[in-house]
Amino acid sequence: MPKMKTKRSIIGRMRLSKTGKVLRTKSSRGHMRVTKSAKQRRALRQSAVVTGAIGFRYRTLLGG
């Protein structure tokens, strides 16, 4: 059976950590950040971990 190709649309949205977790950027970072508190803006800098069945599916689509 041939290798599964990486889904190109997911490459820009998700990435794999070194331990194999699927990471994504948080939403609400585009504009209107002045109205958010500094604590909220700091929290938006961190990546979020995609868990469960969706995380497993994204990991296979990323080729990991």
CATH of 8-62, one of 1.20.1260, 4.10.410, 3.40.50, 1.10.3470: 4.10.410
What digits encode the pLDDT tens for the residues 21-58?
999 999 999 999 999 999 999 999 999 999 999 999 99
The pLDDT assigned to 63 comes to 83
The ranges assigned to domains in the chain are 8-62
Question: 3-state SS of the chain: helix, strand, coil percent to 5?
Answer: 35, 15, 50
Spatial CB neighbours of 37, under 8 Å, sequence gap ≥ 6: none
Single pTM value for the model: 0.81
For the chain, report the end-to-end CA distance as a whole number of angstroms.
17
User: What dihedral angle (degrees, nearest 10) is formed by the CA atoms of 37, 41, 42, 47?
Assistant: 150
pLDDT in tens, 1-30: 788 888 899 999 999 999 999 999 999 999
